[in-house]
Structure 1
Amino acid sequence: MNAVNASAVKKVLIVGGGIGGLCAAIALRRKGIAVDLIELKAEWTVYGVGIIQQSNVVREMAKLGVLDGYLDAAYAFEDVAIYGPGGQLLARIPGQRLAGPEYPANVGISRLALHNVLCNTALELGAKVRLGLSVETLTEQADSVSALFTDGSSGDYDLVVGADGLYSKVRSLVFGDKYTPRFTGQAVWRYNFPRAPQIDHLANFQSAEGNAGLVPLAGDLMYLFLTSHEPDNPWMDTATLAEQMRVRLQGFTGLIGELREQITDSAQVVYKPMEVVFVNEPWYRGRVLLIGDAAHATTPHLGQGAGMAIEDAVVLSEELTAGGDIAQQLQRFMARRFERCKYISESSVLAGDKEMAHDREFDRIGLVKQMLARTAEPI
């Protein structure tokens, strides 16, 4: 057996069954690597309304071989437009078809529809999934990691991937309390509506008080999002969420103003304080690696949070099958991921900081254009 095969990663534990973990499971299984995936939730539900997949993400989903599986359930669109608070057009940025001419530049999709496709694909490819489970301890051996699970069972793996989100248990096992999530001062609100005919693109509306947008998710569905300044991270009474969201949309007129008055069902409002964390050093120790929000959770201002997790998954599968020992593989992974994710994290937080400061000089349109150009580059 040659040295490359001797060091090959053959079996991986993925902790976390969200978008990043599922995409990692799919990517690794397509490369022939055995995958055990554990998810803390006993019921594999998904949180949130919908998700924007911009051109770089569409490219990676095509690489994963899952894009065709959910395009029928999604809304394909080309452009991103930025408007003033009353709907006056400020800029329209054409999309790039990075996945090839046969695929759209961008996709909007409900989180549930995406989850179902990713979950079914991972299972069809042979990933072994266990729910209601996390890791208790991880013990590094000479050439493996021994994982003790919360149900008392255990297993040995060539690599453990922590894809367990903002409050990652794997991150705490690796780095202790060195990296803890930070509240940014803002929150995001989301609410579903029947799709308005003119919303055939991502429509972003800017005001001095916050940033709102409309995202098409299907032929008959779109969602409205709003960012707001919540300085003390207040507790929100769930019974008043609709009213609270309407209050925070008072600065908008036009279509957003019309929709504001239709926000009446607090149970349908998805409210989420923005918290961020960035591991500002290599995201691995030995044979344990963090990906996605566990390593680089950011704000939704540039719509790239889940996209960065998906890119992590694809790049990891490529590097684990490109020769060398595991240390070299993980070093190459970091070389391709660190600066790119740091740029997205810092730029997203910057956009939010400028919103809270009511900085009218901030060139948000320029930042969006720069981000689209950067993410279009090969990874």
Structure 2
Amino acid sequence: MNTVSNVLIVGGGIGGLCAAIALRRKGIAVELVELKTEWTVYGVGIIQQSNVVREMHRLGLLDAYLDAAYAFEDVAIYTTDGQPLARIPGQRLAGPDYPANVGISRRALHKVLSETAIELGTQVRLGTSVESFEQDASGVDVLFSDGSQGRYGLVVGADGLFSKVRGLLFGDKYRPRFTGQSVWRHNFKRVAQIDHLANYQGPSGNAGLVPLADDLMYLFTTSHEPGNPWMDPAGLAEGLRQRLAGFGGGVGELREQITDSAEVVYKPLEAVFVDEPWYRGRVLLIGDAAHATTPHLGQGAGMAIEDAVVLAEELTAGGSLAEQLQRFMDRRFERCKFIAEKSLLAGEKEMQRDPAFDRIGLVKQMLEVTARPI
């Protein structure tokens, strides 16, 4: 018999939905609350690298979305003018029948995750979050923002960078900080040569092109934005073109196609890392609520997905809840800290325009670390 029979998940993003799926597949009752009244997702696309593909396969999700995704094998690094610097072959960690990497639109991924979670029996309530909770040795009494109440064996805070659950656990001790950079994204019709993750780097900045479907890819670039200035939504197209001014080759050709500010997704980069156990009693943080970092290594969502898989495994592996949560921390803390710190390092080196920084070496190191079993 499982130590925990019912779990409340706060937050209906990638981490929360994957946790719901993983727990339901283990037979644990799950209720999920999401603050948004309309369960939509922002943004353009997401990269799921080899380790993430492996865990999505273990969650039984790969087949459901591969038709809506773009499978690719390699990561290539180029100069800002498009001259090749390195090509890093992918690893088929999910098995020979599955790709090394996947690019997928966030909407398509959300559709698969939300529909699967509900099909498996997750009870979902939108427009609701946690107001407060009190816990004792056998459970957590939760008061919700709509005035309702419930009691659960475990509460999982998967409510992102500005986590309400984190605040209830730790107060103001862990607050997101602006890193000095922002990320810009824009969708384009895929061109034939972008059949892999293409990263462009140099003194002029860092940008990338990611295939999402046969007819779709997205461009991203990071920029140094001292003071985190407010950006006029009407000027985002011009702002993105300006920040791509130093790029030639394929990125330079795409730059002049950016004319509609409504098609540009702009986001200041903020980070937070809970540098102690992510749980107190029967309340646990996962994903960005515990370890939000920047997208420089493309592993933010991947770490949340891994959290979900490990949590379900440990909750059904025997021992007391305290022992289970400590085993979860033993498997997750250093791995997530590595990704968080190295992602921030890459951003800092970009802002410093450090010519000695070995980005290729860092990518190779990340791929080697994340290929290890969790």
Shorter-chain TM band: over 0.9
Map 1:146-161 → 2, pairs under 5 A? 146-161=141-156
Q: Deviations over 1:80-112 (max 9, x none)?
A: 000000000000000000000000000000000
The yes-or-no answer on 1:218 pairing with 2:213 is: yes
Structure 1 stretches of 5 or more lacking a match?
none
1:229 and 1:208 map into 2 onto residues whose CA distance is 12
Map 1:108-127 → 2, pairs under 5 A? 108-127=103-122
8 Å Cα contact 2:50/2:101 also seen in 1 = yes
- CA RMSD for the aligned pairs? 0.5
Map 1:1-379 → 2, pairs under 5 A? 5=1, 8-379=3-374
1:209 and 1:153 map into 2 onto residues whose CA distance is 53
Question: How far did 1:138 drift?
Answer: 1.1
2:273 and 2:73 map into 1 onto residues whose CA distance is 31
The percentage of aligned residue pairs carrying the same residue is 78
Q: Aligned with 1:139: secondary structure?
A: strand
8 Å Cα contact 2:204/2:247 also seen in 1 = no
Q: Deviations over 1:172-212 (max 9, x none)?
A: 00000000000000000000000010000000000213210
2:299 and 2:182 map into 1 onto residues whose CA distance is 17
1:306 and 1:105 map into 2 onto residues whose CA distance is 17
Letter paired with 2:44 = V
1:45 and 1:103 map into 2 onto residues whose CA distance is 28
Q: TM-score, normalised by structure 1?
A: 0.98
8 Å Cα contact 1:78/1:104 also seen in 2 = yes
1:367 and 1:313 map into 2 onto residues whose CA distance is 26
Structure 2 stretches of 5 or more lacking a match?
none
2:342 and 2:205 map into 1 onto residues whose CA distance is 17
2:203 and 2:149 map into 1 onto residues whose CA distance is 53
8 Å Cα contact 1:209/1:355 also seen in 2 = no
Letter paired with 1:84 = T
Q: Aligned with 2:296: secondary structure?
A: helix
2:121 and 2:204 map into 1 onto residues whose CA distance is 48
8 Å Cα contact 1:209/1:228 also seen in 2 = no
Letter paired with 1:268 = E
Question: How far did 1:279 drift?
Answer: 0.1
8 Å Cα contact 2:80/2:204 also seen in 1 = no
Letter paired with 1:144 = G
1:234 and 1:226 map into 2 onto residues whose CA distance is 17
2:194 and 2:182 map into 1 onto residues whose CA distance is 24
Letter paired with 1:231 = P
Letter paired with 2:120 = L
Instruction: Detail structure 1 runs of 4+ shifted over 2 Å in the superposition.
Output: none
Q: Aligned with 2:162: secondary structure?
A: coil
